[in-house]
């Protein structure tokens, strides 16, 4: 099989959906096009004094809404095609979950394990400086976030660099999301993508009409799940799924996989992974030395949460999951996805399922612009009101509510409560939105195509309301 062009894969999905919408051809071409790409090369003075050239990109796929939004990844195989594809996915994803941003993505072509912390800091700060120079960064322009290989630490360096270059700009911290809470981050962001994956899978598993044809009962309880990638998204998704009653029967990492039919203890596997750099040899589990084999295990739900192009025409025939829940971006190629659809596998698509990250990033951006923590003004008021009501109930019934219960019932929503509630609402309502689109097409399309149809219509509306395409 030839090299898989990721952007072409995204466009293939777009084209499938475009057959079901009625918009001018030129407008569809505009929506599909990547608006701006900045490719850069800059020097890094390594700790040993040698000079290395670092290659990096930022792509802003669609500016129909501003700012544009999307993560920055550090990976040694990052390339322009991949960044444009991921930026495009961000455009459609934001539209699916009604987050008012255009799509963007950035990447630095490095294996982060081969650099010291201070080298990574110099690379990140220089990348930020390059973005500022070309006006590719800012609270109203383009707002990065963590992605594969990056975390709150890199976002802190980016925010700090931007803030130093814009003295007195009150909204400057809103230039990136996924920051540590001490620097304006929002509680719940770190786990948001995995948490959203959990809400999405749970919602899909509530619908008997969809689950029974797969031979599955409703609910998460006892569902046998395989997770690929125990990083930010995979770990948190696995943790929430386990708490929700599912059994994680296998975990695959880049250097090996493990399986255990009784279910793996996620927290313990994570600890083992941190200590040994591998999930292999986890006590009580069986090793799967070729990690790709884990995708082919018989299971109810397969959650690819690592990288793109994991399920392709070369292995799709051996995938035995009843549900493929795409936590990663682009884990299934367009052709492989069609094959799964033909076989009746329920594919919960990336443009919906991993949108929890950008949803909570939106909340963080709003927090930064409003300069106040969610719940700060209302928490105590809610608590006082709830306590007054509960005291009145006690007076009317003549029964005393136990202290612990009173505290729990009177609790006013704090930042984390509000963020998680906003995330849950977004994931539930968006699932039904795309499912309704699918139903309107008499079920003749899959959920991915339904998601794209909804996105295309929403983005087209922005252009049409400008009168650009009469
Ligand atoms: P991460 O770097 O935290 O974790 C990725 C994990 O996958 C790592 O532990 C890595 O070792 C593992 N991995 C790499 N290749 C593998 C392979 N072949 N088999 C098994 N495991 C492998 O990255 P992340 O932030 O968790 O991102 C994972 C995916 O989710 C990416 O596609 C990313 O674009 C997508 N995503 C991330 C976010 C976010 O908020 N971080 C949001 C939306 C989508």
- Both tokens of residue 202? 């749970």
Q: What does pLDDT average to over the chain?
A: 97
- Please report the atom of ligand 1 found closest to the CA of residue 178: 40
Place of tokens 């084209």: 15
- Both tokens of residue 409? 């019932």
Task: Please tell me what DSSP assigns to residue 214.
Answer: G
Would you say 443 and 437 are in contact if contact means Cβ atoms under 8 Å apart? Answer: no
| Cα atoms in the 13 Å half-sphere on the side-chain side of 69 | 30
Considering only residues 467 and 181, tell me which one the structure prediction assigns the higher pLDDT: 181
User: pLDDT tens, 90-127?
Assistant: 999 999 999 999 999 999 999 999 999 999 999 999 99
Region of residue 53 (left: phi > 0; alpha: psi -120 to 50; beta: else): beta
d(CA 366, CA 362): 6
**Amino acid 39: pLDDT:** 98
Would you say 248 and 263 are in contact if contact means Cβ atoms under 8 Å apart? Answer: yes
d(CA 14, CA 334): 10
Supply the residue whose CA is at minimum distance from atom 35 of ligand 1. 328
Task: Please tell me what DSSP assigns to residue 181.
Answer: G
Mutate to test the pocket of ligand 1, among 233, 276, 363 (most ligand atoms within 8 A of CB): 233
d(CA 123, CA 42): 9
- Both tokens of residue 311? 């399920």
| Domains of the chain listed by start with CATH number | 34-183 (3.40.50.10860), 186-378+413-445 (3.40.50.720)
| 470 has pLDDT over 90 | no
User: pLDDT tens, 391-420?
Assistant: 999 999 999 999 999 999 999 999 999 999
User: pLDDT tens, 27-62?
Assistant: 999 999 999 999 999 999 999 999 999 999 999 999
306 CA distance to ligand 1 middle (Å)? 4
Angstrom CA distances, 409 to 81, 375, 393, 412, stand at 52, 17, 12, 9
Q: Name the strand (E) or helix (H) holding 202.
A: helix 192-204
pLDDT band, very low/low/confident/very high, at 469 (cuts 50, 70, 90)? low
d(CA 27, CA 457): 11
Supply the residue whose CA is at minimum distance from atom 12 of ligand 1. 229
- Arithmetic mean of pLDDT, 129-136: 98
- Both tokens of residue 386? 């709830």
73 CA distance to ligand 1 middle (Å)? 10
Dihedral (C-alpha) 63, 68, 72, 76: value to the nearest 10 degrees?
A: 0
Task: Indicate which residues carry an active-site annotation.
Answer: 105
Q: Among the residues of 343-397, which ranges form H helices?
A: 350-353, 356-370, 379-397
Residue whose C-alpha is closest to residue 307's, from 316, 295, 318: 295
Cα 340–chain centre separation = 22
Mutate to test the pocket of ligand 1, among 306, 331, 349, 364 (most ligand atoms within 8 A of CB): 306
Residue whose C-alpha is closest to residue 36's, from 103, 95, 125, 110: 103
């Amino acid at each position: 099989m030839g090299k898989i062009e990721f952007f072409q894969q995204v466009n293939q999905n777009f084209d499938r959906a475009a057959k079901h919408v009625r918009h001018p051809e030129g407008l569809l071409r505009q929506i599909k096009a990547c608006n701006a790409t900045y490719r850069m090369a800059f020097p890094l003075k390594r700790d040993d004094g040698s000079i290395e050239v670092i290659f990096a990109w930022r792509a802003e796929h669609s500016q129909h809404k501003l700012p544009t939004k999307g993560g920055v990844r550090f990976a040694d195989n990052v390339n322009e095609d991949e960044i444009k594809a991921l930026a495009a996915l961000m455009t459609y994803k934001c539209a699916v979950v009604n987050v008012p941003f255009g799509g963007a993505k950035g990447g630095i072509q490095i294996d982060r394990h081969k650099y010291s912390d201070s080298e990574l800091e110099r690379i990140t700060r220089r990348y930020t400086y390059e973005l500022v120079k070309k006006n590719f960064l800012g609270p109203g322009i383009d707002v990065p976030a963590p992605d594969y290989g990056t975390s709150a630490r890199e976002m802190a360096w980016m925010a700090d660099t931007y803030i130093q270059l814009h003295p007195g700009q009150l909204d400057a911290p809103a230039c990136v999301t996924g920051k540590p809470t001490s620097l304006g981050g929002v509680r719940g962001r770190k786990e948001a993508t995995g948490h959203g994956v959990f809400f999405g899978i749970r919602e899909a598993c509530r619908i008997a009409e969809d689950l029974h044809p797969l031979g599955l009962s409703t609910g998460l309880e006892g569902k046998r799940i395989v997770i690929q990638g125990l990083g930010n998204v995979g770990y948190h998704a696995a943790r929430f799924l386990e708490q929700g009653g599912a059994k994680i029967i296998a975990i695959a990492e880049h250097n090996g996989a493990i399986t255990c039919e009784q279910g793996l203890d996620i927290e313990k596997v994570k600890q083992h992974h941190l200590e040994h750099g591998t999930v292999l040899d986890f006590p009580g589990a069986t090793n799967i030395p070729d990690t790709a084999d884990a995708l082919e295990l018989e299971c109810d739900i397969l959650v690819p949460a690592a990288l793109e192009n994991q399920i392709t025409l070369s292995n799709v025939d051996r995938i035995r999951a009843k549900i493929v829940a795409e936590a990663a971006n682009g884990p299934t190629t367009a052709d492989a996805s069609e094959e799964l659809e033909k076989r009746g596998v329920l594919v919960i698509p990336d443009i919906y399922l991993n949108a929890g990250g950008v949803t909570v990033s939106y909340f963080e951006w709003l927090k930064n612009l409003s300069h106040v923590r969610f719940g700060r003004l209302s928490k105590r008021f809610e608590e006082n009101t709830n306590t007054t009501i509960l005291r009145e109930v006690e007076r009317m019934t003549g029964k005393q509510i136990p202290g612990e219960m009173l505290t729990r019932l009177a609790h006013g929503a704090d930042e984390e409560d509000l963020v998680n509630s906003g995330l849950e609402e977004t994931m539930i309502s968006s699932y039904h939105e795309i499912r309704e689109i699918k139903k309107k097409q008499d079920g003749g399309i899959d959920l991915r195509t339904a998601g794209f149809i909804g996105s295309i219509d929403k983005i087209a509306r922005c252009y049409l309301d400008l009168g650009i395409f009469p």
